A and B are shown apart, each in its own frame.
Chain A
């Protein structure tokens, strides 16, 4: 028998026998029950112990049910109030419902009606809780995209809203750190597949065989080390969304297999013969120029057209300077909360520095810089000296790429060439760091 966290009921009635009998009844039902003989006592109990559902008698000496309900709304807005009334006071109960009571029930109660009503109220309570958890999860994902509604990001958000309800393949392009995975997650969260899985795979830096196995899964004995059957990301994404990051890095052979899955909606595991149906929505992302890759013959044209049905381009942060103050304030609030610091904002000089910095690592780098500043801050405002980039000013004639390459070299050296740690310090992921090292020809001396 499942005995999860019980719903807490508070019975408020000036008649003792009503309180006692309802408490007895609800305890049998498995609820946690408190009672109060007056509105004042009810507020005390509510403050002390909390309550999810309140059964409130409308007519009580002193504070009546209506007044109590208003105070409950202020103290515990999520609590569900059910009004108990006699036939003569139904009008008042209706008034209470207009003011936000969930329902009313006339004394004496039919046991079945009472049970049904409280069950409905506890279901509502569970839904409210679930809603709150989901909103919190979503809020944790979405803020990086938050913008005041001007310029390129507004178009991106509108595009997400338009494309999410469809099953169209989406290609997200943009520099590292612009939030491509967040966009993919938001598309999934707003789509009819939202209750299915969101499965992400970073295709960069994976060898062909490993990528194949990651995507399609394998049967036992398919290759040395395949000690058991393993499901691939495509199979795991059934009825959900498959997010393939760095799709431009997928090797030619795997491109062919991927194209076949997208065309036929079936695939076989590595080392297997059984065709498996695949029902997933593909969202792919890249920081490469895929058209150029197609022209150069490194990316299949037919696969490109399959995945590039709808494209969302995420502009780099340096092209949407107007978003920097808002994002910086958002991260400041978030990290201040996490570190329990009371930091009220940025000094004008610090904000100007933030707005003038080119942010090669984009939003991820901004978040990292603000987090670092919050940790180091001893006052109530962030000053320019707390921002990491103000401490390593480059010569003015140096290119952005050279500054980035030098900085990567410095951080790698400081981290004894541990790429994972260096990536963490730089505020980018490991794969992106590998790509940048490759691009700038950086290798361990």
Chain B
């Protein structure tokens, strides 16, 4: 499945090429595209965060056999929640990840990029319809802290992998 990567704001150097190289099948990452949203779009001034749902809705619909991944540098929230690392419309092939909160407190770009990769896999999984996974090291396991993301592997557990291999659902 072709993966269209939309850059909502300029990413740190090397992140996109790292993601392109690491994201596994069934996704086939294409060249990243700049997709700037209007200034302060969906931005909540008091929270200093952007509304993830509003951004997801503003993304273009994915073409058939295509998934969409948007990357932002702004911290995200859902209206009822204090923060989220990312968001997806379950099964709608549209995913959004923020790299802001995943940044380590001390500079360590390898760790940062790996966290972004794991959360990208998490949201891409949701985008295809995968719910959270009870396996603690699977990217589909739910994390609430950046450090908790470090405990997950950057490849899916066998059960989630099997699920993805059988995608689209009509094949099952």
Contacts and interface: CB of A to CB of B under 8 A. Distances in A.
| Binding partners A and B | yes
Interface of A: 1-2, 15, 17-18, 20-22, 24-25, 27-30, 84, 107-112, 114-115
A17 B79 contact: yes
B82 to A, nearest CB: 5
A20 B53 contact: yes
Given A29-B131, A111-B144, A112-B144, A24 B160 contact: no
A24 B87 contact: yes
A21 B163 CA distance: 25
Contact of A17 (B53, B144, B145, B159): B53
Nearest to A29: B132
Interface residues of B, number: 28
Contacts of A114: 81
Interface in B55-95: 77-84, 87-90
A84 B77 CA distance: 18
20 contacts: A1-B134, A1-B157, A1-B163, A17-B53, A20-B79, A21-B52, A21-B53, A21-B78, A21-B80, A24-B89, A24-B90, A25-B78, A28-B88, A28-B126, A29-B142, A30-B131, A108-B77, A109-B80, A110-B81, A110-B82
Nearest to B88: A28
Contact of B133 (A1, A22, A110, A112): A1
Nearest to B47: A108
**Prevailing SS type, chain A contact patch:** helix
Nearest to B135: A1
A111 B131 contact: no
A30 B90 CA distance: 10
A123 to B, nearest CB: 14
A22 B53 CA distance: 11
A28 B90 contact: yes
Nearest to A33: B90
Nearest to A20: B53
A1 to B, nearest CB: 4
Interface in B115-132: 126, 131-132
A20 B53 CA distance: 8
A20 to B, nearest CB: 6
A183 B164 CA distance: 53
B142 to A, nearest CB: 7
A114 B78 CA distance: 13
Contacts of A109: 80-82
A332 to B, nearest CB: 48
A111 B77 CA distance: 10
Contacts of B77: 108
A21 B159 CA distance: 27
